[in-house]
Chain A
Amino acid sequence: MALSHDGKNGSPGFLLTRLEDWARESSIWPVTFGLACCAIEMMATGASRFDMARFGSELFRASPRQADLMIVAGRVSQKMAPVLREIYDQMPEPKWVIAMGDCASCSGVFNNYALIQGVDKIVPVDVYVPGCPPTPDALLDSLIKLKERVRTDSRAARHGAQTGPGVGIPHQPS
């Protein structure tokens, strides 16, 4: 089948799969998920000086159903965690997650009761961006790294096939 994932290395599926990868990589549209201070730097990345649009992220989509990428920009509180998971679940496959900033990666300065200690406890993360907040350059760098990953294989089964707890999600003994 032309679009089959196994159709690499010269068989008929190869070209179309590569086309798919290229198309996905060139137009990654994030969902608006700015939470706190990192959201301001994310807006700076979307503004004219740093301009995420030239890397393909033309628009931020408000609806998760129309987005490929969730940039978790900011600290995730206990109250916000179920909301984040619900937004993530609503995104169609293939989808990716960038944990922007120290708070999304590991709760940063705020190692306390109120925050999820790293957003990878509830969603699988593809790229972590350090910084508090990361400069727009750092966010663009993470976007480029993500694009490289998408370009090589946009159908990596990490997100879609995940049915149990992944890396970073504590396994609850049944």
Chain B
Amino acid sequence: MTANVETLRSAFASAEIGLPADGIPTIRVPLVELTSAVQRVTRDLGFNRFVDLTAIDRLTSEERFELVYLFYSMQRHTWLRLKTRTDSEAPSITEQIPGANWYEREVWDLFGVRFEGHPELRRIMLPDDWQGHPLRRSEPLGFEPVDFTVTRDVYGGVGSQVSGLGEHA
């Protein structure tokens, strides 16, 4: 595993390379270097299977979303994580990696990160006319208060309004 990290350090001299709890080497790159980093990782370093793309909402004022890419080397049987931070946009890697298509649409749908160069960036999980990006941590869970009798005063009987049951005697 350490030999792997050393190879990465030589390939990504300017980037930060960390080793979190799961032992998967994690490279942080600035957003402008993302496309070239993905090319280097997949072609030069042999991580030829794209595994996953997701986002984390860090709730910072700048560069709020952390994009997390996961790759796998079919030869060396190891994973590699690539991370970058963005406010709202990122370059799409779908041209290079067709498998990333739906993953980028999902991140757009649920987080609102726009991928430039994606062939068809539309909502995928939510209805097409949905407003908002629910997986952002600033957005509420959207739960319905349950009409328990003990909380009826707290929620003002809102549950009974919703269900149309009316006040019980």
Question: Do chains A and B make direct contact within the complex (CB under 8 angstroms)?
Answer: yes
Which A-chain residue is minimally distant from B165 (CB atoms)? A167
Q: Which residues of A contact B119 (CB under 8 A)?
A: none
Which residues does chain A contribute within 8 Å of B127, judged by CB atoms?
A: 78-79
**Residue A23 CB within 8 A of the other chain:** no
Q: Is the CB of A170 within 8 A of B162?
A: yes
Per a CB cutoff under 8 Å, which of B134, B162, B163 touches A113?
Answer: B134
Q: Considering the chains assembled together, what is the distance between the CA atoms of A113 and B127 in angstroms?
A: 12
Interface of B is mostly: loop
From residue 136 to 174 of chain A, which have CB atoms closer than 8 A to chain B?
A: 165, 167-171
Interface pair B142/A168, CB less than 8 Å apart? no
Name the interface residues of B113-169: CB closer than 8 Å to any CB of A: 125-127, 130, 134, 139-144, 146, 161-165
Contact B164–A169 (Cβ < 8 Å): yes
Contact residue among A111, A114, A168, A169 (Cβ-Cβ distance under 8 Å from B144): A111
Quick check: is A117 within 8 A (CB to CB) of the other chain? Answer: yes
Q: Contacts A168-B163, A170-B162, A170-B164; is A117 near B126 (CB within 8 Å)?
A: no
Contacts of A165 in B (CB 8 A): 164
Residue-by-residue, is A83-121 near B (CB-CB < 8 Å gives 1, otherwise 0)?
000000000000000000000000100011110010000
Nearest Cβ on chain A to B109's Cβ, whole angstroms: 11
Per DSSP, chain A at the interface is: loop
C-alpha gap A172/B165 in the complex (Å): 15
Question: How far, in whole Å, are A107 and B143 apart by their CA atoms in the complex?
Answer: 10
Q: Which A residues are CB-close (under 8 A) to B144? A: 107, 111, 117
Taking CB as reference atom, which chain A residue is nearest B145?
A: A111
The total of chain A residues at the interface (CB under 8 A) is 14
B167 vs chain A, min Cβ distance (A)? 15
- Indicate which residue in B126, B139, B163 contacts A78 across the interface (CB closer than 8 Å): B126
Contacting A167 at CB < 8 Å: which of B134, B161, B164?
Answer: B164
Residue ID in chain A nearest B142 by CB atoms: A113
B26-53, CB under 8 A of A: which get 1 and which 0? 0000000000000000000000000000
Are B164 and A112 in contact (CB-based, < 8 A)? no
- Chain B residues near A113 (CB-CB < 8 A): 134, 139-142
Cα(A171)–Cα(B166), bound, Å: 12
Q: What separation, in Å, do the CA atoms of A54 and B77 have in the docked complex?
A: 53
- Alpha-carbon distance A78/B139, docked complex (angstroms): 17
**Residues of A close to B165: CB separation below 8 A:** 167
A169 to B163, CA, bound (A): 7
Closest to A79 in B: B127
Which residues of B are at the interface with A, using a C-beta cutoff of 8 A? 125-127, 130, 134, 139-144, 146, 161-165
Which 4 A-B residue pairings sit nearest by Cβ, starting from the closest? A113-B142, A111-B143, A117-B144, A79-B127
Instruction: Give 17 CB contacts A-B under 8 Å.
Output: A78-B127, A78-B130, A79-B127, A107-B144, A111-B146, A112-B141, A112-B143, A113-B140, A113-B141, A114-B126, A114-B134, A114-B142, A117-B162, A165-B164, A167-B163, A167-B164, A170-B162
Q: Which residues of A contact B (CB under 8 A)?
A: 78-79, 107, 111-114, 117, 165, 167-171
